[in-house]
Structure 1
Amino acid sequence: MPESRRRKSKKPAATAPQGSTRTPKRKPPSPPWFGAMILAFFLIGIAYLLVYYFSDGGVLGMESLGGWNILVGFGFVVVGLAVSTQWR
């Protein structure tokens, strides 16, 4: 069987310069307490919302916030989500 012709390359093969062999720096893994902090934000937010709903806002301090209690509870959950994106 005949062999196909090989193409002659007009350009030399691209190679990296000798002095610039950099390896990208990897960030170190998160400390062990970081996962616990994420979980704590989630649980605090959910617990806050459950207390607000089951007590009808009658807990001391919650009654003055009114409907803003929902924002506070979801705020903790959102902070937990934002912190979880930084976990390695």
Structure 2
Amino acid sequence: MPESRRRKPKNATQTRATTPVVAKRRQQSPRWFGGVILAFFLIGIAYLLTYYFSNGGVFGMEDLGGWNILIGFGFVVIGLGVATQWH
């Protein structure tokens, strides 16, 4: 039965000396990084709860109207974006 070409050993003249590739290890995030993530989540949730429970009656929120929802979810989305950089 014929053998495949892959089973034949390579000639010593064909192999090249290569330097081993060293994988760089990612640095760990600072300890305060988790607090920043949590802060963005909590600020966003607190903003949304304040808007809903006050029916927009808090000073400054009544002028923004529906943008309050976008602001609250914006903080949460920023928290998610920061969380993707955590190691």
Q: CA deviation at 1:17?
A: 3.0
Task: Report the TM-score when normalising by structure 1.
Answer: 0.81
Q: CA deviation at 1:50?
A: 0.2
- The amino acid that maps onto 2:54 is S
What residue is the counterpart of 1:17 in the other structure? 17
- The amino acid that maps onto 1:65 is L
Where does structure 1 lack aligned partners over 5 or more consecutive residues?
Answer: 1-5
Identity of aligned residues (%): 63
Where does structure 2 lack aligned partners over 5 or more consecutive residues?
Answer: none
What residue is the counterpart of 1:83 in the other structure? 82
Q: How many residues align?
A: 82
- The CA distance in 2 between the partners of 1:56 and 1:7, in whole Å, is 76
What residue is the counterpart of 1:38 in the other structure? 37
Secondary structure at 1:69's aligned position in 2? helix
The CA RMSD measured in Å over matched residues stands at 2.4
- The amino acid that maps onto 2:8 is K
